[in-house]
Amino acid sequence: MQKKYAVITAALLTIGLAAHTQLAAAAPATKAKAAVPAGTAHVRLLQAVPDGPALKVTLNDKTVTDNLAINTVSNYFDVPSGKCHIVFTGTDGKTKVWNSIRTVKPDTYYTAAIYLNEGKTSLKLQDESTSKITAGKARIYFYNLSPDAGDLHITVDSKRTKTGYSQWLKAVHPGSANSKSASSGDFTLQVRQGEKVIKEVPNFKVAAGQRSSVFILGKANALSIVTKAAGTS
């Protein structure tokens, strides 16, 4: 009798093991997030030519967007560090707008902006990672990509000064990108030509430890301000 029970028990164990194996094989595998290869750079794109068309963009011969609209900042795209072939064309892929090779560093975030510089199409490739963030502060990048606004001054409203504002950046030249270390807070951001405020951004929030970009776009009589987080995918 004991032998009979032993045989039955062994059979049940065998059946249970087989069933467990089948269930494990049938269970869907958890898809792991692909790791970013070492030595990767990150490039996002901006079409900043006033009244310009939507553009198709390739990075190292790979199309990353075929419809980059004006004043639109794309997500970051991963590219190998080293030489990066950047091509902007019309959406037909034939009309050449910009074609150049630039060097990008590993573990670094960039904005590649196509804009007008003295009436000619130019490319601004800005590193948004290298400038240090001071403890308890943020790092903000200001891009002056307006073709006709000239030097611009960046201020914020302030009740502590007689003028009613505090100067953040004295002059952001056309086609340049200047960065500012800023304390956290909620500000009214002001873009000035001389003393004249030509554009304001209310409720401009600054958080310690973060990077952000402020893109000043369009013609002086109709400026557009686009703000984006920087240095994060």
Tally of domains in the chain: 2
Sheet holding 152-157, edge to edge: 165-172, 152-157, 185-193, 196-206
Q: Tell which of 129, 147, 171 closes a domain.
A: 129
Indicate whether 72 belongs to any domain.
yes
Decide: 227 and 212 in contact? Cβ < 8 Å.
yes
**For the chain, the helix, strand and coil percentages under 3-state DSSP, each to the nearest 5:** 10, 55, 35
What are 25's two structure tokens? 């094989």
Same domain for 148 and 220, yes or no, is yes
In a domain, 205, yes or no: yes
Tens of each residue's pLDDT in the chain, 233 residues: 444 444 444 443 344 434 444 534 444 555 555 566 668 999 999 999 999 999 999 999 999 999 999 999 999 999 999 999 999 999 998 899 999 999 999 999 999 999 999 999 999 999 999 899 999 999 999 999 999 999 999 999 998 888 889 999 999 999 999 999 999 999 999 999 999 999 999 999 999 999 999 999 999 999 999 999 998 76
Q: Contact 79/59 with Cβ under 8 angstroms?
A: yes
Q: Provide the CATH number for the domain around residue 49.
A: 2.60.40
**DSSP string computed for 55-117:** EEEEETTEEEEEEE-BT-B---EEEESEEEEEEEEETTS-SEEEEEEEEE-TT-EEEEEEEEE
